Amino acid sequence: MYSDPKTCLYCTDTYDNLMIKIADLAVSRVFLFKEQTYRGRCLVAYNGHVNDLNELSDEERNAFMADVCRVTRAIQAAFNPEKINYGAYSDKLCHLHFHLAPKYVDGPDYGGTFQMNPGKVYLSDAEYEELINKVKAHL
């Protein structure tokens, strides 16, 4: 299933209820996921409207994965999680993006799969800004 760029939340910048934009990267954008069950959770979305990594040239794929790695390193430096889980799910939203969910030993779902949107932890604007600034400091 391919989605129409005219209705894609990444292409139309209609993501405000789910995420806060942190920065533009080489070939993508990084966002802080508003639902923060996994403290520091971010999402990296490719700039072009493609469905999957296999649609990219080797050069485009390498540039995107370099952006993903850059954000992962920033999350690791900012929050020191035990592990960062990667999720690339696009069954219903066909735009290449990766969820980066930090996992902590005594935190939710450690040792298992992170939940897409548990709907449990939302922060104040000041708390979001603090997390964003921590990620930006390491990008």
pLDDT digits (tens, 9 = 90+) for 80-128: 999 999 999 877 778 999 999 999 999 999 999 999 889 899 999 999 9
Give the N- to C-terminal CA distance of the chain in Å, as an integer.
33
| pTM of structure | 0.93
Q: Which token pair is 51?
A: 């469905």
| Cβ pair 40, 102 in contact under 8 A | yes
Q: Which CATH architecture has domain 19-136?
A: 2-Layer Sandwich (3.30)
Where helices occur in the chain by DSSP H, the ranges are 58-79, 125-136
Question: What residue segments make up the domains of the chain, in order of their start?
Answer: 19-136
